[in-house]
Structure formats: structure tokens, C-alpha cells
Amino acid sequence: MKNAKYLKQQKQEERKTQDFKDNLRKKFTDQCKKYFGVPYHQKYWSEGEEYHNAPLYLDCCGLIRQVVYDLREDFGFSLGRWNQAYQFDVCPQEIEYKDMKPGDLVFISATYYNQRVKTQPIFKKFLNKNKKLKPFAHNMVHVEVFTGGETGEQTIGARYQKGVIQYHDSYKFISKNYYDMKYHFRSLDTWLDGICKSQCAQHEWRDDRDLWIPDKYSVFASPELQESEAIEEKQIENDFQIKKIYIGSGNNSQIIENFFKDKNTENKNRQYQLMDKQKTFNPFFYFKWVQTKSEVDFLSFNEGQQIINHIANVTIFTTKVGLLNLLRDYQSIQQETIDFFPETYQLDLLSDEILFLNKKLEKEQKQIWILKPHNNNMGKGIQIIEDIYIFKQNFIQQKNINQDPILLILLLMKLMKLLIIKKVSKIQK
């Protein structure tokens, strides 16, 4: 947790640079392109049609929400569950068309020809079809990502109900579903600054994901907490003058402990003081040796005054997923192809999942794939896959079971039936 807070703070500092914003803007548009070919919504595709039971569906606001979620560690937030009206309110910086950059958003407000109220399907048959009903907030009906392109008006978006996510030559179009269309151009800069908050006085869009914890400056803060923090602050100078050594358990800690004990034996003035192992997060140490990064409070670390045996953001190249993302960013920024890293897909990332499932391989081409859980080490959970076609079929089947509760129930019933048969056969024997 402390390491996560530190990395978040570092990301906020990094976010202030123009290079970071430019790279994230490009990363945002590149991530949108990874969803090309994803259909609009399942209800518009009948059985037997091309995109019936597709692995993923995304409408116009769903694309924006998914891409920001994919890049949530870069943006510093993920978008709420609401539609394009919400995204319009949390992306408040209005700009003129001539100032648009790739990655900025084009919102469209309009009036539906046949507006319908949002209600439960069971009550729809009782509604008067000719009755004018409440529209979306701000009459916001659509959103797309501006790219400019050769036409200067090109966008990426999910525009048609029977269509897919794709390039559109222009953000301007005629709709069969709504009229009186107005275009609103919004800069992505607010999101690039790590800010996702509604600036609309009419719509607060309260998000139940937000957690609030009172700090020492809050009226709800504990007086004891304020007093103890004040005492600690007064003791900082004295504590740093003593070279305190904290050595945790594991990671060959006995070798390190013996080293400092030998140093104290050589120096009768006891140059180093070994700290109690219970004081894991005591910030007043000279040297700290622990097993994991979670035992280090990087927020209180004083560079140049303290020594620790961990690097805060080392996982960007010491984990498989971290290294994969690092190399992808490098390729995107440097426009270079990396051929020493094997073809890799991160299957818990929807864009990678789509690319993997759509990849076509020659059946006679013999390939061996490795499936590795990203949260295991020492080779645990690694599987060798010799037939990628069977793996894909099983993967899609598992996805359908996870998404469809009826299939899950049928699978459980089948398993129970097998267990009962085995149980009965044992009794008969």
C-alpha cells in the first residue's frame, strides 16, 4: 500500500511534464485502434450473423471507458459506469475545432426522433410509443475520438448499431436516429493531468468507488493522531543523527545482521544501532534490509540520507507484464521494432484478448506457446500449449460460461451428475 502511494505520487510529478502528456495522448489513440473490428452491441446481431456471440461488444462511450481503464495506471483513474453525458461533464475543457489534437474528444448533442424513457423491459409494453419522454443529460447522444488523419476531420468510434469500431473520415454525419446535431470539442488535457471530476453544477455524478479518509488537517481527524505526528516531527533531527539499522526476516538477513554486529565490535562506540523487528514502518533509519517492497514506505524515504535494498518501481522490468508494457511503450515512442522479445498477449487485457483470438495461424505451422500466470513465480502455474486452436476454443467456451449464468448452472449440474454417478457406482461395487 505504501509503495503504491509512493508510485502514485511519483506519477503525479511525472504527469506535469509535457513529454508525459504527449506520450499518453498517443498511447490513448493507439489503444483505441486495438479495438478496431469490435461490434457495437449484442442485441443488434441475430443468431447466424457475423458478430452474434462475439467475445466483446463496445458502444461509443464503452470504447472510451474501456481504453481509459486499460491505461488507468497512466491516467491515475478509471471512468465511472455512466454514458457519454457523464464523460462530457468530466472532460470539461472546451476548445475550438482548429485547436483539436489527436486524442481529443468530439461529443454530439441531438434530439432523438423517437425518444424513450429508460425503464425496465417488463414495463415497456405499457408505454405510449408516441409519448415524448426524458432524453439524456445535455441531450448528449454520441462521442468519438479525434485523430485528424488525411481528411483533417478523421475520428475513431463506434457509430453504427450494425457496425464495428473503425476510422471515420469525418466527425460529421447524418443519423437516422436523431436530428439537430451539435458538435462539442473537448480537450483531453484535463484527463492527462490526472483529473476526472464533474465540473457541471447540474450533474455531480457521485461515484461510489471514491473512498475518503480524513487526514490530520480534517475536522474529523483524531486529536491523538495530530499530537503523535507533532512529536515525531520534532524528533526527526535527533533520530537521523543515530545510524539505526532495521533488518527484517528472510532474504539472508542473518548475513547482513552479522555484518553490522562485526562493525560494532570493531568500533566500541557502537556506530550502528539495530532496531526492533516490530518497527517495520518506522521512518527513522539509516539502513533497511527487508524481504519485499511492501515493507518499505517510499513516501517517507529520504534520498541521500537513507539506504534500502529495494527499488520502488522495479516491477516495470522485473515482471513479465511490466516488461511487456515497457517494451510496447518503447516501440510506440521510438518507432522501432523489437525482435528479441517473443510474441506475447496479456489475456486479462481486453484489447490483447481480441488480438489473440483474431490472430490467424497456418494449421500446418507447428508452434509451442507458454501460458504463464502473471501473479506466480518460481515456475508455478506455467503450462505448455502445443495446440493453440484447442486452447482458443476452450478459452472462448470458458469466457461464455463466465458471462452467461445459465451456462454456468448447466456446467455445475453436469459436474454434480458425474459426481452422483461415480458415488452410486462405488456403492454398487
Please report whether residue 398 resides in a domain. yes
**Distances in whole angstroms, Cα of residue 227 to Cα of each of 11, 232, 292, 375:** 31, 9, 31, 41
Please report whether residue 285 resides in a domain. yes
Please report whether residue 219 resides in a domain. no
Please report whether residue 120 resides in a domain. yes
Is there a single domain that holds both residue 67 and residue 164?
A: yes
Is there a single domain that holds both residue 50 and residue 103?
A: yes
pLDDT at 408 over 60: no
**Distances in whole angstroms, Cα of residue 244 to Cα of each of 21, 28, 152:** 41, 46, 63
Please report whether residue 207 resides in a domain. no
Grouping H, G, I as helix, E, B as strand and the rest as coil, residue 182 is: strand
The reported pTM is 0.61
Note the pLDDT of residue 223: 55
Is there a single domain that holds both residue 66 and residue 137?
A: yes
Q: Give the least confident one: 100-114, 191-205, 230-244.
A: 230-244
Confidence of residue 125 (pLDDT cuts 50, 70, 90): very low
249 contacts 291 by C-beta, under 8 angstroms: yes
Is there a single domain that holds both residue 304 and residue 373?
A: no
90 contacts 186 by C-beta, under 8 angstroms: no
**Taking the alpha carbons of 2, 321, 102, 205 in that order, is the dihedral positive or negative?**
negative
Is there a single domain that holds both residue 246 and residue 289?
A: yes
Please report whether residue 211 resides in a domain. no
Condensed to tens digits (0 to 9), the pLDDT of residues 163-207 reads: 999 999 999 999 998 999 999 999 999 999 989 988 888 887 766
- DSSP code, position 48: T
Q: Among 296, 312, 328, where does a domain finish?
A: 312
Is there a single domain that holds both residue 50 and residue 129?
A: yes
172 contacts 153 by C-beta, under 8 angstroms: yes
- In this structure, the number of other CB atoms found within 10 A of the CB of residue 183 comes to 14
Angle at 94 between CA 93 and CA 97, to 5 degrees: 135
Report the C-alpha gap between 63 and 36 in whole angstroms: 10
Q: Among 193, 224, 253, where does a domain finish?
A: 193
Report the C-alpha gap between 306 and 46 in whole angstroms: 64
Note the pLDDT of residue 289: 92
Q: Which residue has the higher pLDDT, 357 or 87?
A: 87
Mean pLDDT within 299-319: 83
Q: Which residue has the higher pLDDT, 420 or 44?
A: 44
- Number of domains comprising the chain: 3
CATH number at residue 22: 3.90.1720.10
The H-or-E segment that residue 369 falls in is strand 369-371
Grouping H, G, I as helix, E, B as strand and the rest as coil, residue 244 is: strand
Q: How large is the angle between the packed helices 60-70 and 18-33, nearest 10 degrees?
A: 130
Grouping H, G, I as helix, E, B as strand and the rest as coil, residue 180 is: strand
Note the pLDDT of residue 316: 78
Confidence of residue 79 (pLDDT cuts 50, 70, 90): very high
- In this structure, the number of other CB atoms found within 10 A of the CB of residue 45 comes to 18
Is there a single domain that holds both residue 264 and residue 364?
A: no
Is there a single domain that holds both residue 261 and residue 303?
A: yes
Note the pLDDT of residue 36: 94
Is there a single domain that holds both residue 54 and residue 165?
A: yes
Is there a single domain that holds both residue 134 and residue 60?
A: yes
Report the C-alpha gap between 184 and 133 in whole angstroms: 24
Mean pLDDT within 37-47: 89
Condensed to tens digits (0 to 9), the pLDDT of residues 110-123 reads: 998 876 544 434 33
Three cell numbers at 232? 515525531
Q: Among 162, 193, 224, where does a domain finish?
A: 193
Q: Domain range holding 357?
A: 342-423
Strands 154-157 and 140-148: antiparallel
Listed in sequence order, the residues at least 6 apart from 123 whose beta carbon sits closer than 8 Å to its beta carbon are none
Please report whether residue 67 resides in a domain. yes
- The 3 state secondary structure assigned to 274-319 is ECCCCCCCCCCCCEEECCCHHHCCHHHCCECCEEECCCCCCHHHHC
Is there a single domain that holds both residue 117 and residue 180?
A: yes
- DSSP code, position 129: T
Please report whether residue 324 resides in a domain. no
Q: Which residue has the higher pLDDT, 145 or 326?
A: 145
Is there a single domain that holds both residue 161 and residue 43?
A: yes
User: What's the whole-number average pLDDT of the chain?
Assistant: 78
Report the C-alpha gap between 146 and 25 in whole angstroms: 11
